[in-house]
Amino acid sequence: MKERLSIGVDIGGTSIKLAVVDSRGNIVHKWNIRTDTSEKGRNISSDINATITETINQLNMSPSDIEGIGIGVPGFINIESGFIYGAINIGWENYPLKDDLEARSGYPVMIDNDANLAALGEMWKGAGNQVSNLICITLGTGIGGGIILNGQILHGVNGMAGEIGHITSIMENGAPCNCGKTGCLETIASATGISRIAAEGIDCNPDSALSKVLKENGQITSEDVFTATNQGDEWANEVIRYISKHLGIAIANMSNVLNPSRIVIGGGVSRAGDQLMTPLKEVFSRFALPRVSQGAEFAVASLGNDAGVIGAARLIEIQSFER
Amino acid sequence: MKERLSIGVDIGGTSIKLAVVDSRGNIVHKWNIRTDTSEKGRNISSDINATITETINQLNMSPSDIEGIGIGVPGFINIESGFIYGAINIGWENYPLKDDLEARSGYPVMIDNDANLAALGEMWKGAGNQVSNLICITLGTGIGGGIILNGQILHGVNGMAGEIGHITSIMENGAPCNCGKTGCLETIASATGISRIAAEGIDCNPDSALSKVLKENGQITSEDVFTATNQGDEWANEVIRYISKHLGIAIANMSNVLNPSRIVIGGGVSRAGDQLMTPLKEVFSRFALPRVSQGAEFAVASLGNDAGVIGAARLIEIQSFER
C-alpha cells in the first residue's frame, strides 16, 4: 500500500514553513519560502502552490501521492469555509484562502489558527503524547494558546477560543496590551513582557547583572533574565517568581475549568526549562484544586518550529481517516 | 408511536427531586422525597427505586414506558462507570450508584454531576436555548459550574471540569474557601460571599440600611443587599459593584479561553435580575476580547429548580437517540 502524505504549511509574517508529512506524523521533507506581504498578501496563495508543485517534482513524487494541504494562519478564520477575516501580519483581510488555493492546486485545503495547529502537532507527535485533553501555551513575542478537548481543537462560537494571552491577570493599572485592554497575561509572561518588567525595575535594583546588560544593549531580553537567574541574580529571580506567579495562577484557573491531563509550554521562553517550569509548577499546584492538580502533567513543547507544519498536516490526516 | 419517557433525579442534601420527562424535555409529573443521609446514604438507592415504582403505578404507566433513569449528584463521579468517589452532603464514599440502581430497577441508569446537569437542562429547555457552547454558573450557597462544548458536557480528565467557583480571584489575603484555598470566586460572588462582604464592611458604613439589618437579624443576606441596592443604598451598591467586578472578570477570562455563545447565570443570587446582570455585563464587555464579547449572550437561568431533573432526563434521552 502506498504511503499517504500531506502537506503542512505554517504561515508567518516573515517566512512560510512547509513540510511533506507522512500518515504517522513524520516529516519527510521540509523547506521555507519568504512571505510576500506586499499587495495585502495577494501573491501568497500562488507562491504556496508554486513551491509545492516544484517540490513534489524535485522529490520525484507524483501529485497523487499528496492527500491535501493543511495550513496554519495567524489570524481570525472561519474554520469551515477557510475564509480569513483578518491576519494583520500577513496583510489578508476578508480573503477566501481555502477556495483560492483549492482552485489553484486541485487539492483539498484545510485551514486553522496557527496556535491551534501547534497544539494539535504537539498532541500528535510531541509533548502532548496523544492525550485527548490538553492546553498548549506558546510564550513568544506574544502568548498563543491552543486547546484540545476530547481530541478535537476547541474553536468556540466564532473561532476565538484559546486566547490565553488575553486573560486579565492584573485588574487595575496593568500594562497596556496590543489587544487594547490592560493587564493581559501577554503583557507579563511573554518574552516582551519579561523584558519590560526586568527593565522597569532596574532603577530599584542597580546592582543586578541586568543593569549592566541594559546599559550595554539598550534592552534586557527574556534570555538575559534566565541567564542572570542561573547566576543567582536576585532581581532576575524576582522577575521569574513574579511572572511564574501570574502564569501559574492563570493556568490553574483555566485548569479548574477545563481539567486537562497535560499542559504543554512552548515558544522561545520555554527554552528556559526548569528555571521556569519549577516555580510555575509550584504556583500551579497551590492554586489548582487538588484533583485538578493531580490530573495534570506539565511538559515543555518538544517539536519546536515543526509543531505548526505537523499540526497542519494532521488536519488533512484526520480528514483522510474519516473519509 | 408511544411517547418515550425518562426519569430525571436530582439528589440534594435535604431532598431528592424526581420527574417523569418526555422526549421533548417537558415535565409530565414531578415530586420530591426526603434524602436519607443516615448510614452513609445506603438507603437512598432503594428509596429512589421504591418511589419510582410507586409513582409509575400511581400514574397508570407501564414500567416499559420508561427508557431509563438519569441522576444528578453533588459530588465527584466516574461518569462512565457511574461510581461515586465522594458526595459529602449525601454521605456516599466509593459507592457504585449506577450498578446498584440498575440492579434494583432493571432500568439503564446514567449519572453526572448536578451542576453539569443543570447546564444540560438549561441548554435543552431553558435559557441555553439549544446553543452548543455554553457556560452555566449557579450562584447559590456556593458556586457551581457546568460547561457545554459542541453540545456535550465537558468533564475533563477526571471529572473536575467546570469548577468555576474555585477560580482564584484574589491572589493574596483572600477569604478562606471550603476547598482549602483562599480568594476563590466562591468566597466573593456566592450568596455566602455577598453576605460576608456586606457584613465585613458595615463598620465603615454605619449609615447604610444594611447596618440596621445586621443589628436586627444578626446577618445580612444577599437578598438584603439587593433590596438595599434597589433603595439606593450606597454601601449595598458598592458591594454589588465589587462582586460584579470579580465575577465579570472571571467570566471574561473563561470566555477568552472558551469563546461561548451563551452564559447562563442561575441560583438564588440570579433572582436579583438586572441589578446583578447590568453591572456584570459591563465588566464582562470591558475584560473580554471584542469578538468574544460580541459572540456571547447573557441570560438568567429560566428553569429554576427543575433544571437538574430535566438535565438528568436529557442524559437518557441522548442515549436513546444514539441507540
Given the C-alpha cell 419517557, which residue does it identify?
Answer: B5
CA distance A163 to B254: 10
Same domain? B158 vs B108: no
Given the C-alpha cell 442524559, which residue does it identify?
Answer: B315
Q: Is the ipTM of this complex over 0.85?
A: yes
CA distance A83 to A81: 5
Query: From the CA of B56, how many Å to the nearest CA of chain A?
Result: 38
Same domain? B265 vs B147: yes
Residue numbers in A near B160 (CB within 8 A): 256, 259, 289, 291-292, 295
Same domain? B219 vs B285: yes
Assign B150 a pLDDT band (cuts: 50, 70, 90): confident
CB A194 within 8 A of CB A232: no
How is residue A195 written as a grid cell?
523584558
CA distance B37 to B15: 10
pLDDT for residue B234 is more than 70: yes
The answer to whether B181 faces chain A, any CB pair under 8 Å, is: yes
Residue-wise pLDDT for B92-136, tens only, equals 999 999 999 999 999 999 999 999 999 999 999 999 888 989 999
Which segments of A201-286 are extended strands (E)?
262-266
Mean pLDDT over B192-205 rounds to 96
pLDDT for residue B290 is more than 70: yes
Q: Which residue of B has its CA nearest to A167?
A: B253
The DSSP bridge pattern shows strands A143-149 and A152-153 to be antiparallel
Same domain? B182 vs B212: yes
Average pLDDT along chain B: 94
Q: Which residues contact A43 (CB under 8 A, 6 or more apart)?
A: A36
pLDDT of residue A150: 86
Under an 8 A CB cutoff, do A258 and B161 touch?
yes
Same domain? A166 vs A225: yes
Q: Which residues contact A264 (CB under 8 A, 6 or more apart)?
A: A119, A122, A126, A127, A128, A134, A135, A136, A137, A298, A299, A300, A301
The DSSP bridge pattern shows strands A83-87 and A27-34 to be unpaired
CA distance A249 to A221: 23
CA distances from A47 to A7, A18, A44, A52 (A): 14, 12, 5, 9
pLDDT for residue B322 is more than 90: no
CA A290 to chain CA mean position, Å: 28
Query: From the CA of B296, how many Å to the nearest CA of chain A?
Result: 8
CB B112 within 8 A of CB B77: yes
Residues present in chain A in total: 323
Interface of A with B in 219-258 (CB under 8 A): 245, 249-250, 252-254, 256-258
Query: From the CA of A30, how many Å to the nearest CA of chain B?
Result: 32
pLDDT for residue B320 is more than 80: no
Same domain? B134 vs B221: yes
CA distance B73 to B86: 10
Same domain? A151 vs A97: no
> DSSP alpha helices (H): ranges in B148-190?
186-189
Under an 8 A CB cutoff, do B261 and A76 touch?
no
CA distance A169 to A172: 9
pLDDT for residue B272 is more than 70: yes
CA distance A217 to B113: 56
pLDDT of residue A245: 97
pLDDT of residue B3: 82
How is residue A89 written as a grid cell?
501580519
CA distances from A241 to A209, A244, A299, B95, B230 (A): 17, 5, 19, 43, 45
pLDDT of residue B319: 79
Helix-strand-coil percent breakdown of chain A, rounded to 5?
45, 25, 30
Same domain? B222 vs B93: no
A131 within domain boundaries = yes
Helix axes B222-230, B234-258, angle to 10 degrees: 110
Same domain? B48 vs B153: no
Same domain? A68 vs A182: no
Same domain? A85 vs A162: no
The answer to whether A260 faces chain B, any CB pair under 8 Å, is: yes
Nearest to A31 by CA among A4, A49, A3, A55: A55
Same domain? B85 vs B166: no
3-state secondary structure of A262: strand
A312 within domain boundaries = no
pLDDT for residue B208 is more than 90: yes
Which of B134, B257, B286, B287 should be substituted to probe chain A, the one whose Cβ sees the most A Cβ atoms within 10 Å? B257
Under an 8 A CB cutoff, do B161 and A261 touch?
no
CA distance B86 to B102: 19
Query: From the CA of A237, how many Å to the nearest CA of chain B?
Result: 20
pLDDT of residue B88: 85
What's the CATH number where A190 sits? 3.30.420.40
pLDDT of residue A88: 85
Which of A164, A241, A259 should be substituted to probe chain B, the one whose Cβ sees the most B Cβ atoms within 10 Å? A259
CA distance A266 to A300: 6
| Consecutive H or E run containing A119 | helix A114-125
The answer to whether A171 faces chain B, any CB pair under 8 Å, is: yes
A216 within domain boundaries = yes
pLDDT for residue B247 is more than 90: yes
Percent of chain B at pLDDT > 70 equals 99
Residue numbers in B near A293 (CB within 8 A): none
| Cβ density class B155-178: b for 16+ within 10 Å, e for less | bbbbbbbbbbbbbbbebeebbebe
Residue numbers in A near B289 (CB within 8 A): 160, 163, 166, 179, 181
Q: Which residue of A has its CA nearest to B245?
A: A171
- The total domain count for chain A is 2
pLDDT for residue B323 is more than 60: no
- What is the span of the domain harbouring residue A86? 5-113
CA angle (A75 as vertex; A138, B257 as ends), nearest 5: 55
Show the low-confidence residues of chain A (pLDDT under 50).
323
